C-alpha cells in the first residue's frame, strides 16, 4: 500500500478575513496531489502540544467565505523559547509531515524561520489585517478590515452630522497606520493621525478648531490605536469648543465578516502558490505580492524587509484637505 503523504497547516496570531479561503485552497490542492492535511488547532500552541485534527476540502469549503479561521488561531509567547521549537519538531516528525504551511503575520514568520533551523520545511502565507508584513504589498485580510472600518465610520458619521457632534474614530493596526490612513481617506476624515506621522493632541485640537471655523459642523478625526487616550481627547475637545464629541473604538468589527473579493483573490492566489512551493520543495519562503505578482521571498529577507510608507497617498490626503479647507474659507 502506498504511504500517505502529509502536510500540516496552522493559522497564527490575530485572525484575518481570507484565512479560510486560503486554507480551503491549500487543502484542496494538497488532496488532489495525494496529501492528507493535519491542521494544528489554535496556532503554534497546537503544534507544540500536538492538538490537531485531519481536515478535508469538503469541510474547508463550508468556511471559504467566512472571516476568522475554522481551525482556530492564537498567539503563543511560549514559542519564543528554543525548547518549544524542539518539542514542535517532535510533533512534526511524529505526524511524518513533508511540510508545514503557516498563515499569519510578522511574528509568525519569525517563528517559522526558527522552525527551519530545527529541520522543518515551512512556508508562510501573510495574513494580518494590519498590513505590516513588509515583504508583501498586501497581506490577506487588510482590504476587508479597511472596508469594514470605512463602513463603520460612514454609518457613525451620519448620526454625528445630524447632531452636530465631533467624531473621533480609532482603528486597529497596532504600530502601522495603513488601516487608519486608507479608511480615513475613504470616509472623508478631516484629520488623520497615524504612527508614521505623529502629531500632538494640541495640534489635533487646533485642526478641529480650523474645521469648525470654516463651517464644518461635524469634524471627523480618524486615528490608529495606541497613540492617545481618545476619551481624554474627546473631553478636551468638548471643553475647548463647547461642543459634543464622541470617541468610538471601531474594534473587532474590522476583523470580522466575509472577506472582500480582493482578499479572496489574494487568498486563493497565495494558497495555490504556497502549495506549489511545497510540491517544488521551495521551503523557507513567504508567499508575497510584489507589484501585483506573487513571488516567494526567503524568510531572512522577509524578516529584514523595511516598511515603505505610502507617502504619495499621505500627501494626496494632506493636499486634498488643504484644498477643501481653503475653498470653504473663500
Binding region for ligand F6P (CB under 6 A): 14, 105, 128-130, 172-174, 225, 255
> Closest approach of Cβ 107 to ligand F6P, in Å?
9
Q: Which of 15, 106, 114, 130 is catalytic?
A: 130
The DSSP string of 124-160 is EEEB-TT---TTSS--BTHHHHHHHHHHHHHHHHHHH
> Closest approach of Cβ 58 to ligand F6P, in Å?
30
For residue 94, what is its C-alpha cell? 511524529
Whether the CB-CB separation of 59 and 24 falls below 8 Å is answered with: no
> Closest approach of Cβ 22 to ligand F6P, in Å?
16
For residue 171, what is its C-alpha cell? 482603528
> Closest approach of Cβ 178 to ligand F6P, in Å?
10
Separation CA 119–CA 122 (nearest Å): 9
Strands 122-126 and 99-104: parallel
Select 17 or 128, whichever has its Cβ closest to ligand F6P: 128
Select 36 or 130, whichever has its Cβ closest to ligand F6P: 130
For residue 16, what is its C-alpha cell? 484575518
Provide the 3-class DSSP secondary structure of residue 87.
helix
For residue 245, what is its C-alpha cell? 464629541
Active site residue 15: no
Phi, psi of 293, deg, nearest 5:
-115, 140
> Closest approach of Cβ 15 to ligand F6P, in Å?
8
Select 36 or 225, whichever has its Cβ closest to ligand F6P: 225
Q: How far is CA 271 from CA 7, 109, 276, 287, 329, in A?
A: 14, 16, 9, 9, 52
Phi, psi of 174, deg, nearest 5:
55, -115
Select 47 or 145, whichever has its Cβ closest to ligand F6P: 145
Select 105 or 284, whichever has its Cβ closest to ligand F6P: 105
User: Which residues form the catalytic set?
Assistant: 130
Amino acid at each position: 500500500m502506498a504511504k500517505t503523504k502529509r502536510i500540516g497547516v496552522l493559522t497564527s496570531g490575530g485572525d484575518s478575513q481570507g484565512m479560510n479561503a486560503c486554507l480551503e485552497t491549500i487543502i484542496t490542492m494538497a488532496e488532489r496531489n495525494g496529501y492528507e492535511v493535519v491542521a494544528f488547532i489554535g496556532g503554534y500552541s497546537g503544534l507544540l502540544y500536538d492538538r490537531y485534527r485531519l481536515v478535508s476540502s469538503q469541510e474547508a469549503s463550508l468556511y471559504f467565505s467566512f472571516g476568522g479561521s475554522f481551525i482556530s488561531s492564537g498567539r503563543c509567547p511560549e514559542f519564543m523559547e528554543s525548547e518549544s521549537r524542539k518539542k514542535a519538531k517532535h510533533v512534526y516528525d511524529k505526524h511524518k509531515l513533508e511540510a508545514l504551511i503557516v498563515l499569519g503575520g510578522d511574528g509568525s514568520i519569525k517563528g517559522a524561520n526558527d522552525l527551519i533551523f530545527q529541520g522543518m520545511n515551512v512556508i508562510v502565507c501573510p495574513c494580518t489585517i494590519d498590513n505590516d508584513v513588509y515583504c508583501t504589498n498586501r497581506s490577506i485580510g487588510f482590504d476587508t478590515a479597511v472596508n469594514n472600518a470605512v463602513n463603520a465610520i460612514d454609518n457613525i458619521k451620519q448620526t454625528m452630522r445630524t447632531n452636530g457632534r465631533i467624531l473621533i474614530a480609532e482603528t486597529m493596526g497596532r504600530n502601522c497606520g495603513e488601516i487608519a490612513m486608507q479608511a480615513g481617506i475613504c470616509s472623508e476624515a478631516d484629520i488623520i493621525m497615524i504612527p508614521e506621522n505623529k502629531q500632538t493632541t494640541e495640534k489635533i485640537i487646533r485642526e478641529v478648531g480650523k474645521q469648525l471655523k470654516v463651517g464644518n459642523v461635524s469634524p471627523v478625526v480618524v486615528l490608529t490605536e495606541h497613540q492617545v487616550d481618545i476619551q481624554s481627547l474627546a473631553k478636551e475637545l468638548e471643553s475647548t469648543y463647547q461642543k459634543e464629541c464622541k470617541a468610538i473604538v471601531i474594534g473587532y468589527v474590522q476583523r470580522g465578516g466575509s472577506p472582500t473579493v480582493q482578499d479572496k483573490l489574494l487568498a486563493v492566489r497565495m494558497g495555490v502558490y504556497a502549495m506549489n512551493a511545497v510540491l517544488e520543495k521551495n521551503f523557507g519562503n513567504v508567499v508575497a505580492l510584489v507589484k501585483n505578482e506573487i513571488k516567494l521571498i526567503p524568510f531572512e529577507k522577509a524578516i529584514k524587509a523595511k516598511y515603505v510608507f505610502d507617502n504619495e497617498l499621505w500627501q494626496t490626503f494632506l493636499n486634498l484637505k488643504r484644498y477643501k479647507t481653503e475653498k470653504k474659507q473663500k
